[in-house]
Chain A
Amino acid sequence: MELKEYQTRALDALTRWREQLAASEKRLSQLITRSPELVEPGDYNHPLRAWQKLADNGDVPFPNRPYVERTDAMKRPIPHICFRVPTGGGKTLLATVAIERLNISRGLVLWMVPSNAIFAQTKAALKNLEHPYRQALERASGGNFRFLEKNTPFDEPMLADSLCVMLISLQSANRKNNKEFLKIHQSSGAYMSFFPDIDDKDGHTKLRGENPDLEPHGADERITHSLHNVIKLKRPLIILDEAHKAYGQQGNDSDEYRDTISNMNPRMIIELSATPKMTRSNILVDVPGSDLKTEEMIKLPIEVRSEENVDWRNTLDKARAKLDELHGAAKPLDHNERRYIRPIAVVRVERTGKDQQDGEHVHAYDVRDHLIKSGVPECGIAIKSAQEDNLGQEDLLSRNSEITWIITKDALKEGWDCPFAYVLVLLDRTTAPTAITQMVGRVMRQPDARLTGQESLDRSYVYCGYTDVDLAVKRVKTGLELEGMGDLHQNGSVVLGSSLSSPVKTLTVQRRQQFRHVEIFLPKVRHRSFDGGWEELDYRRHILPEIDLGIIGAPEPQSAHANQPREETSIVDLDATGITEKSYGNQPLDVDESVNIAWYARHISDVLPNPFQAARIVQDTIKRMRNAKQNDSEIYAQRNPLVVQLRSHVKAELDKQAEQIFLKKIESGDIQCNLETTDHNYRMRPSLKVPVPEDATQLQHHGEPVQLPLFEKTYAHQYNNDERSFALYLDQAKALQWWHRVAVRQDGEYFLRGWRQDRIWPDFVAVMNAKSDKPGLLIFETKGTHLEGHEDTDYKKRVLKALQDSYNAGTMTVHNGPAKGIFRLVFFREGFPDAETAFRELQAAYA
């Protein structure tokens, strides 16, 4: 499964964190060795130091939030970060690839999940050889992956030789649930290999001396041979799924969960959550709902149709009419594109019990009977309740399935979100508003994560019979927030409320009067297609095939920090590039240290997908090391730093070539960024749909609304402080016709492309008055000064320069001749000198 752009960004952030963490630990280690008298207590907190460095570089989403510190049972600081990813955003995939990216290829990983339903889903995925999660772990381990549960026997050699992921429920780890909890604390012969022999009193004394937090076996000196003690000794990476459920809420219970996890002595914790609490988690990656929208993973907008005091049959009939309409739209899609979608409605009722049909409450059987009377075939209706499960193991995505209606109360499992589910119907009188919030996420996943191009099939629908429409809309928004997509209803018109009886308007902002009836075009970055036409530049199709992988050789040798399997140190747990392995057992490890080319090739497959080329570069690297008299054991000890070196070397080489190819193609005219007379330009929309909070105010300057935005109203809450300053600066530029703030990653918004895969979303676009009929274009990407010199900043700066140089270079344009354009990176500095220069350059070009 290919990673989405935001997933790649998230993993890059993880890599930066890992590197800072390693650097911070290395500094501490060197300080302790060289000048122990200079070590201050705060120096031991290397995760905090690393985080501060990232915050200073602007590499965390909330740099002004304090770092949340945690320590383990031995009072060592625990590095812990959180991926904030909306529901349906592929956070589990992200976690599996994160293991790979952290170069964890052996040892124990503890994967903790909050519920039985998620346990079952995760287990099924990790055990399925073809599932992307499993495949990521196979890659991470070079084919030596083992799935464990808490009762699965495992031993020291297995951990030394394989990547062992143990799936465990939070309940098992929490003292409140005595039965499950006790199991992991019980002594068992299965864990003998991790401890000294039972009669080895000195061994036990030594082990307790080194690890006083281990649980003793009764009153004697021996250590309990329990899973809990094994975990404490092996110090696993902990993946904490739905972290907010473990300790997101305030209160003693959640403190207990947090402490329980900390006391397992994790070497690192990666949390996954749609709604983490800032007071508990260090959010390294914040994926907004708009990223999911951009990647076409969710069906938006959500049409909410609701009215108070309507008979439930009326609501159901309206929903059925909508579902029929959706089936009508899906048929040609199947016929013409062989894309099969069978829209499904999920109905929530008040009663499902076989003896609860009382004529007063809306019962599943009432709904079923009404649907059958309306012409829905009985085989198309499934009741899902505690007593009755017509769904069973039905594959709803299969053509063989006939189900189009699912009736339930609350038996749909947590995490159930079938992409074919389009319509949510709430028929319960008392809890409908709450149910909207809880269930709206179930109908939002886009089939195949790909828009259909048919508006009705790219939306989701909520029908509610007993709630005022405003309340229903509010509840949908709360639901979006709970799914981690709160940004969506802030930035776009994603919730369209209307009464069941009469439609209600949505807020639309038109362009200002003088621009209302003119076409406004912006240049797209395009590539000549192989049939002679033009299409949007695509890194994989237009840049990658030109790259000559054959000239990428082995990286220069470096003195990688050795990483011995038996190494033991009290502080450094993470070397410069990966996680060290430790063994406290008395059995010598039998580790296969022979060079495994495939293992390396897999570890760099994200940057160099051709495995045969990857193998060649790895082979050359290993050959060079052997020529330098390094044996297999020494090479094995350096495998993690080597992977990092290989990856960054290959990435840099690819990037170097990609830039040259991009520039060369601009020069040859195969890549263009012009305003063409053909229909390949970006066409500015005539209006925007903007959701506006009740207390919102328009962006103002000296008490008056701003004058020059392209659209007649722009609201202050849509800008942060820096953006607001820049917008006001542009608004005072008298030479401008208009300016427009690009709403980042909104569907249909304007973007550019460079020589990398990611799109570039400029922050502002403006058009300058010109003496001729060829107005000058200004495209601004804005950055804080702290990001000056940052790798990503430099990349964008170079791309913008290249695009500016190529803009309208001598071709026929919509303006009947070349117009001028400035593409500029602007730092937020007093007076915006970068923008000032841009204005002067553009004016000079027209002089």
Chain B
Amino acid sequence: MDKVLTGESLPTFNDLAAALLWTAAVVRDEHRELAPQNDDGLFYQTEDADYYMLYKPDIEWLQSKKANLHEERAKRIHDTGKKAVVFAADKYMSQRFLTDLDISFCQLPYELFIKA
């Protein structure tokens, strides 16, 4: 965990997304490369929900505001009309605000750590 938090050893987008997808949705798709499909970090879709992750294996990026879920992005995700799960380092709104937008927020990297 320390190595992730300090940037000493950061997993690739694919590895992290795969691990989170397994814990969050019990979905394992080893043959599929998980990569962001748009600027909002959409990386997987099921019938029920879309999965987003704001992540780059770059510690400076993770420490920056770009790594956080902000309102404009949250509203854009909401506008897709589907339930969403967003993995990110932090968020600039309350969970209640997100609940109203049908978004569940999961914090990186703790989400991985707690459910490991």
Which has the most chain A C-beta neighbours within 10 Å: B5, B65, B90? B5
Instruction: Tell me if B63 and A610 are in contact (CB < 8 A).
Output: yes
B64 partner residues in chain A, CB cutoff 8 A: 550
Q: Within the assembled complex, what's the spacing in Å between the Cα atoms of A541 and B94?
A: 8
Q: Within the assembled complex, what's the spacing in Å between the Cα atoms of A541 and B93?
A: 5
Choose the segment among B12-20, B26-34, B36-44, B104-112 that binds chain A (4+ C-beta atoms closer than 8 Å). Answer: B104-112
Q: Which of chain B's residues 85-116 have a Cβ closer than 8 Å to chain A?
A: 89-97, 99, 102, 107-110, 113-115
Instruction: Tell me if B72 and A596 are in contact (CB < 8 A).
Output: no
Instruction: Tell me if A609 and B107 are in contact (CB < 8 A).
Output: yes
B9 within 8 A of A: no
B5 partner residues in chain A, CB cutoff 8 A: 597-598, 601, 611-612, 614-615
A2 partner residues in chain B, CB cutoff 8 A: 94-96
Q: In the complex, what's the smallest C-beta–C-beta distance from B32 to chain A, in angstroms? A: 25
Instruction: Tell me if A612 and B99 are in contact (CB < 8 A).
Output: no
Instruction: Tell me if B108 and A611 are in contact (CB < 8 A).
Output: yes
Q: In the complex, what's the smallest C-beta–C-beta distance from A418 to chain B, in angstroms? A: 19
Q: Within the assembled complex, what's the spacing in Å between the Cα atoms of A611 and B4?
A: 10
B25 partner residues in chain A, CB cutoff 8 A: none
When each residue 402-442 of chain A gets 1 if its CB lies under 8 Å from chain B and 0 otherwise, what string results?
00000000000000000000000000000000000000000
Q: Within the assembled complex, what's the spacing in Å between the Cα atoms of A53 and B72?
A: 47
Instruction: Tell me if A611 and B109 are in contact (CB < 8 A).
Output: yes
Q: Which of chain B's residues 42-88 have a Cβ closer than 8 Å to chain A?
A: 59, 62-65, 67-68, 70-72, 83
Instruction: Tell me if A610 and B90 are in contact (CB < 8 A).
Output: yes
Known: A550-B63, A611-B110, A616-B63. A597 touches B2 (CB 8 A): yes
Instruction: Tell me if B96 and A450 are in contact (CB < 8 A).
Output: yes
Q: Within the assembled complex, what's the spacing in Å between the Cα atoms of A12 and B32?
A: 47
How many chain B residues touch A (CB < 8 A): the figure is 34
CB<8 Å pairs between A and B, sample of 12: A143-B113, A450-B99, A530-B71, A540-B97, A541-B92, A545-B68, A549-B63, A598-B113, A609-B107, A610-B63, A611-B108, A613-B63
Which has the most chain B C-beta neighbours within 10 Å: A129, A130, A538, A611? A611
Q: Which of chain A's residues 502-549 have a Cβ closer than 8 Å to chain B?
A: 530, 538, 540-541, 544-545, 549
Q: In the complex, what's the smallest C-beta–C-beta distance from B104 to chain A, in angstroms? A: 12
Instruction: Tell me if A611 and B89 are in contact (CB < 8 A).
Output: yes
User: Which residue of B83, B91, B114 is within 8 Å of A135 (Cβ)?
Assistant: B114
Please give me the 4 A-B residue pairs with the lowest Cβ-Cβ distance, nearest first: A615-B5, A610-B90, A598-B1, A612-B62
B71 partner residues in chain A, CB cutoff 8 A: 530, 541
B107 partner residues in chain A, CB cutoff 8 A: 609, 611
Known: A143-B1, A598-B2, A610-B90. A138 touches B63 (CB 8 A): no
Which residue of chain B has the shortest Cβ distance to A619 in the bound complex? B6
Known: A129-B115, A597-B2. A612 touches B67 (CB 8 A): yes
Q: In the complex, what's the smallest C-beta–C-beta distance from B21 to chain A, in angstroms? A: 16
A373 within 8 A of B: no
User: Which residue of A129, A545, A612 is within 8 Å of B70 (Cβ)?
Assistant: A545
A338 within 8 A of B: yes
Q: Which of chain A's residues 583-603 have a Cβ closer than 8 Å to chain B?
A: 596-598, 601-602
A747 within 8 A of B: no
Binding site for B on A (CB under 8 A): 1-2, 129-130, 135, 138, 143, 338, 448, 450, 530, 538, 540-541, 544-545, 549-550, 596-598, 601-602, 609-616, 619
Q: In the complex, what's the smallest C-beta–C-beta distance from A586 to chain B, in angstroms? A: 33
B114 partner residues in chain A, CB cutoff 8 A: 129-130, 135, 138
B83 partner residues in chain A, CB cutoff 8 A: 338
Which has the most chain B C-beta neighbours within 10 Å: A130, A448, A598? A598
Known: A540-B93, A550-B63. A448 touches B6 (CB 8 A): no
Q: In the complex, what's the smallest C-beta–C-beta distance from A232 to chain B, in angstroms? A: 33
Instruction: Tell me if A615 and B110 are in contact (CB < 8 A).
Output: no
A545 partner residues in chain B, CB cutoff 8 A: 65, 68, 70, 92
User: Which residue of B72, B93, B109 is within 8 Å of A538 (Cβ)?
Assistant: B93
Q: In the complex, what's the smallest C-beta–C-beta distance from A419 to chain B, in angstroms? A: 14
Known: A135-B114, A143-B113. A612 touches B89 (CB 8 A): yes
Q: Within the assembled complex, what's the spacing in Å between the Cα atoms of A450 and B102?
A: 13
A544 partner residues in chain B, CB cutoff 8 A: 92
Instruction: Tell me if B6 and A615 are in contact (CB < 8 A).
Output: yes
Q: In the complex, what's the smallest C-beta–C-beta distance from B2 to chain A, in angstroms? A: 4
Q: In the complex, what's the smallest C-beta–C-beta distance from A114 to chain B, in angstroms? A: 29
Q: Within the assembled complex, what's the spacing in Å between the Cα atoms of A338 and B96?
A: 15
Known: A541-B71, A544-B92, A611-B110. A448 touches B1 (CB 8 A): no
A616 partner residues in chain B, CB cutoff 8 A: 6, 63
Q: In the complex, what's the smallest C-beta–C-beta distance from B66 to chain A, in angstroms? A: 11
Q: Within the assembled complex, what's the spacing in Å between the Cα atoms of A130 and B93?
A: 22
B97 partner residues in chain A, CB cutoff 8 A: 538, 540-541
Known: A597-B2, A611-B107. A448 touches B99 (CB 8 A): yes
A619 partner residues in chain B, CB cutoff 8 A: 6
A138 partner residues in chain B, CB cutoff 8 A: 114
B113 partner residues in chain A, CB cutoff 8 A: 143, 598
Q: In the complex, what's the smallest C-beta–C-beta distance from A612 to chain B, in angstroms? A: 4
Q: Within the assembled complex, what's the spacing in Å between the Cα atoms of A601 and B89?
A: 13
Known: A550-B63, A596-B2. A612 touches B115 (CB 8 A): no
Instruction: Tell me if A130 and B96 are in contact (CB < 8 A).
Output: no
A130 partner residues in chain B, CB cutoff 8 A: 114-115
Q: In the complex, what's the smallest C-beta–C-beta distance from B53 to chain A, in angstroms? A: 14
Which has the most chain A C-beta neighbours within 10 Å: B63, B68, B83? B63
Q: In the complex, what's the smallest C-beta–C-beta distance from A803 to chain B, in angstroms? A: 23
Q: Within the assembled complex, what's the spacing in Å between the Cα atoms of A809 and B10?
A: 51
Q: In the complex, what's the smallest C-beta–C-beta distance from A545 to chain B, in angstroms? A: 4
Q: Within the assembled complex, what's the spacing in Å between the Cα atoms of A596 and B113?
A: 14
Q: Within the assembled complex, what's the spacing in Å between the Cα atoms of A530 and B90?
A: 20
